[in-house]
Amino acid sequence: MTNDPSPTLILASSSTSRATLLREAGLDFAIQPARVDEEAIKQAMQGEGAKPRDIADALAELKSQRISSRQPHAMVIGADQILVCENRLFNKPGDMDEARAHLEFLSGKRHDLVSGTTIARAGSVIWRRIDIVKMTMRELSESFISGYLERAGEDVLGSVGCYRLEGLGVQLFRKIEGDYFTILGLPLLPILDFLRLHNMVES
């Protein structure tokens, strides 16, 4: 009889910001993006009247479980973010014109960034968390939006809100209420606490 191998850590996401958070925290992990049809799931759940927090949680769960079922001894992190403004759910912009339209709509308004995070092992979720960050954009002029998009480039297409807070995106905001790491993609401190409890990070 052999013992189970020690668990490894897998990030079920292609997000560079999430990977950077884990890497800079000193974690050793693999990246295995979970291929799921996010838009179809969002539309179906919206049609059923699901709340944004439930959609974010369901997508994070699906991602972590999908990879965990293939790698049963690993701890698999799944995450998703939903941006909500005036009861409208935003997806990542498909092109720069759509990014401009998103910023024009969000300008001068408060939106909620709803983040769902799960950790699965052996195909079952063993940890989950929902975080909501309230973010208020300042009034953005057309010339600022044009300059911002030109300087930030197509990197904005990888963010649901067209911003990376660790870069130029911070200039978009007047007020932020919530966890900085969650905005970047993961609730890093609670994840580290969980991994310490499971002896995957030194105490």
- Helix or strand run (H / E) with residue 54: helix 52-70
Question: At residue 26, what are phi and psi to the nearest 5 degrees?
Answer: 85, 15
DSSP state of 161: T
57 catalytic residue (yes or no): no
Q: Identify whether the C-beta of residue 159 lies closer than 8 Å to the C-beta of residue 83.
A: no
- List the catalytic residue out of 80, 97, 131, 155: 80
Tally of helices (H runs) and strands (E runs) in the chain: 7, 7
Cite the beta strand spans of the chain per DSSP E.
Answer: 9-11, 30-31, 75-85, 88-90, 110-121, 124-137, 173-177
Give the relative orientation of helices 52-70 and 38-47 as an angle to the nearest 10 degrees: 140
> What are the catalytic residues?
80
